[in-house]
Chain A
Amino acid sequence: MLIRLAGGRVYDPAHGINGEIRDVWVRDGHIVATPGPDAPIDQTYDLTGRVVMAGAIDMHTHIGGGKLNIARAMLPEDHRRDPRPRTALTRGSCGHAAPGTLATGYRYAEMGYTACFEPAILPVNARQAHLEMGDTPLVDKGGYVMLGSDDFLLRLMASGAEQRLINDYVGWTLNATRCIGIKVVNPGGISAFKFNQRRFELDEAHPFYGVTPRDILRVLSRAVHELGVPHPLHVHSSNLGLPGNYPTTLGTIDAAEGLPIHLTHIQFHSYGAEGDRKFSSAAARIAEKVNSTPNASCDVGQILFGQTVTASGDNMTQHRNAGLASPKKFVVMDIECDAGCGVLPFKYRDQNFVNALQWAIGLEIFLLVDDPWRVFLTTDHPNGAPFTTYPHLIRLLMDKTFRNERLGLIHADAKALSTLASIDREYSLYEIAILTRAAPARLLGIPDIGHLGAGATADITVYRDEPDRERMFTAPEYVFKDGRLVVRDGKVVQVTWGRYHMVAPAYDRGIERRLEEHFARYQTMRADSLRISDDEMAAFGHGGELRTHPCRGGTP
């Protein structure tokens, strides 16, 4: 089957193609080079005047796992606002801030997204996360597995274990849990909270193990690097949301000691403590640090106004903020000497000084980080806003007039404290394609998505070139997944199930005996029960492909 996508304006930053009129050719689910003049074409789409990009990739979105299901359970009133009735092709589902997996997949695809990565998979909860992602139609998926407050790692570190052993443990965890990257959340802090500690500074000794968050960041970023895992250590820094937390964030970047590090939802970590209200923007300081640190990347975690729910592994922070929940309810959990979680519904209000400034800080970071390859478009779904707000966020980045109109609507004191009005930068379509396609694929180390070159998976999104970018990005004209037309005019026309992406770094199996012993002595399941088999993954993912990506030759 040969398909010709003819005459669209193509944005493919991976190949430096910036709005050129050209054809894209698809055969059997892949993009192919222009065939000879005699090749029989099965189908042609006339894309004159349309914008063509690879399928979008959300590299940080909470779409599966225990904390999301807790959020779903807590939000019946929010679900009722946003039903998605059954159709001839799609099943009934619902939800606005924390939609069901079926609604999640349909909606992502309808916005032109073809891959989503769940950034906080607890090892003991990995099965549930993969089950949920497996039940998320139309998109590829993968996950980052969370370490850093698990007692096995902290004990290893406290015992002065060599880096080699830590690498083996990290390698085993990635293999067992079928993930593509390593996440650390409030390093050591989730454990410290179990010891009744309510704040945990970057250079503070853990109340039982004596190790510091900086130590944890150092050994984990080294492990990721030495195992050759393409995705850098994915870091949710200490002190999330606290006024004056930006020095912690600068220190966190330094803790990687020059190795690759990704700071997630950095907006929540870019706060000063200046002014009458002791809350100010440190976006310029943070952006300057990212600009001058080539080994660092970040995603923003932009907040947008309205009802959402915050769901995080950072139970220490979530418990601290429980009083701010709206509606007033929350769940906090300690989990299996492994991790924790906290879930609270939250409403960001434009007339609330703090929320308004958070909104401005996120946009400042987007506009002050120079390199679009190192800043990613996220709302930390659902923490900053549901992912369905992405088209609105794209318009804020691309349209200065619109942005300044919106700025005029927020709390006046917050507006006065923000430099947003003085920033003229507008993102181009080419830059949006970097943020949402080319750069995430590169940062994940997945060679065949996020671009339109020959050999790529034919995940392609076609937009009408509308001046209202929010409208444009809300409902693409066509979305192709693996070369199949799955969305037309923003509506699902075919349901497929996507694939899982993961890595399987080599490690010394000697660690397994140690793990089995640790689990037998202290845990309530066998270490072997953590290991998810190929058969299981295939069943979870409706028979979708399991794709294991190579690791770089690690440092011996």
Chain B
Amino acid sequence: MPAPDRPGVTCPFCGLVCDDLRVGPGTRGLAVTENGCAVAARGFGQVATATTGPRIAGAPATLADAAAAAARLLAAARRPLIGGLGTDVQGARAACRLADQTGGVLDHMNGAGAIRNLLVLQDSGWITTTLSEIRNRCDLLILAGGDITSRFPRFFERTIAAPEALFGGDRQCATVFLGRGPQAGVTLPGPVEVIGCEVAELGQAFGLLRALLAGRPVQATSAAGAPLAVWQGLADRMRAATYGVVAWAAPDFDFPHAELAIQTLCELVKDLNRDTRFSGLPLGGSDGDITVDAVSLWQTGFGLRAAFGAGGPTQDLHQHATARLLASGEADALVWVSSFDPARTPPASTVPTVVLGHAAMTLPAEPAVFIPVGTPGVDHAGHLFRTDRVVALPLAALRGSALPSVAEALDAIGAALEGGR
């Protein structure tokens, strides 16, 4: 059934989860005709490979047989890892059920980045804001780690570059990039400053800013490769802002103990709120990472990297990392889920693997079981959380599809496990 042309489509391909796209049939897959971006065009334009049925060891199989094969594999495992988890709310609900049923571990393909924020949340907390507040109030936006529009292309358009604001149209938002400057073609409404600095050393800069704001004597003459005067200037502007915001995307903080840099940043924001208003904005949500964390958290008390066993759920943000579990042999089976992005294939490992993959996925190695699944918001309805962890938006089915959802496939595996008892 061809997809009709429709407005008001919600896009599941990044953490902004924009709900104003117009999507119709394209020459390849679906085409975004209004309010699109590079990420949406790529996501909606993906088309299934020629072989779109389930496979057991490479041989075509029915969904029921594939689920039964996956169940046998899981039944034989002591500690299965349910990883990838590129899915929506319903898929996450099913993954939590299966993890509990099999004594498994849950981790997300973006887990390494996500825990940099989660560690801060668990240890000290933060003061944050959401997209609409930024759109209407923000007069100083700092991008820690540099431009984020490659990951979230419409971020500026939907926030500070919006034509109108609730509290007066004359509001001008200044933007400061720490690290890389804006991408070519990005237009910003107000003054733009780029502080060229080493992202991996930003923790120093945030510490220095805290000291400057507190009026402490400082010895340093520079931080993160930028001179003291630059940071003093930024500190003054932060103090003078009416509603400042500092945004960061955890994947950009890819260096050892990045959580400490993020924590210093969050403490800096707390300091500023003693006298003025200032907020953080952790950017994430792509591939359903925030969604899966939220679902696991509300059901079980623990989010990403939760593990299930006889004593109840536990969580270890370091020990339960996909790479570590696979490398150490602690995980002896892998269920890999990626329903948004065919490029996110499972990591190389020697453990028996079940893949619930986007129908366009080409795998580097044939897994024990492959089940092609539909994409929420394209092939079937669903729900996805936005970057702010507040707004969960409904996703619509845009075309008829015979593909099972991740939830259906995982539930079939769970049912086969029950039946095999």
Q: Which residues of A contact B (CB under 8 A)?
A: 64, 66, 68-70, 72-74, 76, 79-80, 83-86, 91-95, 98-103, 122, 124-125, 127-128, 131-132, 135, 151, 155, 193-196, 208, 319, 322, 328-338, 343-344, 521-526, 528-529, 533, 535-536, 539
Contact A79 to B132, CB < 8 A, known contacts A92-B308, A128-B392, A331-B121: no
* Residues in B neighbouring A155, C-beta threshold 8 A: 166
* Residues in B neighbouring A86, C-beta threshold 8 A: 100, 308, 310, 312
Contact B166 A151 (CB under 8 A): yes
* Residues in A neighbouring B243, C-beta threshold 8 A: 194
Interface positions of B from 281 to 326, Cβ below 8 Å from A: 294-295, 297-303, 308-315
Interface positions of B from 323 to 337, Cβ below 8 Å from A: none
Contact A127 B124 (CB under 8 A): no
Partner of B390, one of A84, A102, A125: A125
8 contacts between A and B (CB under 8 A): A86-B312, A91-B97, A93-B300, A94-B312, A194-B133, A194-B243, A195-B277, A196-B276
In the complex, the chain B residue whose C-beta lies closest to that of A338 is B132
* Residues in B neighbouring A528, C-beta threshold 8 A: 8
In the complex, the chain B residue whose C-beta lies closest to that of A535 is B381
| Range, interface on chain B | 35 or more
Nearest CB of A to B290, in Å: 11
Partner of A132, one of B20, B123, B298, B303: B298
Nearest CB of B to A348, in Å: 20
Knowing that A74-B122, A338-B132 are A-B contacts, what are 10 other residue pairs whose CB atoms are under 8 Å apart, sorted by A's residue number?
A66-B390, A73-B297, A85-B312, A131-B89, A155-B166, A319-B273, A329-B125, A333-B127, A335-B130, A524-B158
* Residues in B neighbouring A539, C-beta threshold 8 A: 90
Tell whether B136 is near chain A: CB-to-CB under 8 Å.
yes
Partner of A529, one of B297, B313, B394: B394
Interface string of B373-394 (1 = CB under 8 A from A): 0000000010101001111111
Contact A124 to B302, CB < 8 A, known contacts A92-B312, A333-B127, A529-B10: no
In the complex, the chain B residue whose C-beta lies closest to that of A102 is B299
Q: Complex Cα distance A331/B135, Å?
A: 21
* Residues in A neighbouring B97, C-beta threshold 8 A: 91
Contact B166 A522 (CB under 8 A): yes
Tell whether B254 is near chain A: CB-to-CB under 8 Å.
no
Contact B311 A85 (CB under 8 A): yes
Contact A337 B132 (CB under 8 A): yes
Q: Complex Cα distance A337/B133, Å?
A: 6
Q: Complex Cα distance A85/B311, Å?
A: 5
Partner of B313, one of A92, A122, A330, A337: A92
Partner of A208, one of B133, B164, B167, B390: B167
Nearest CB of A to B265, in Å: 15
Tell whether B137 is near chain A: CB-to-CB under 8 Å.
yes
Contact A68 to B133, CB < 8 A, known contacts A92-B100, A196-B277, A333-B127: no
Nearest CB of B to A286, in Å: 32
* Residues in B neighbouring A94, C-beta threshold 8 A: 300-302, 312-313
* Residues in A neighbouring B159, C-beta threshold 8 A: 524
Contact A128 to B294, CB < 8 A, known contacts A331-B121, A528-B8: yes
Contact A332 to B123, CB < 8 A, known contacts A85-B311, A86-B308, A151-B166: no
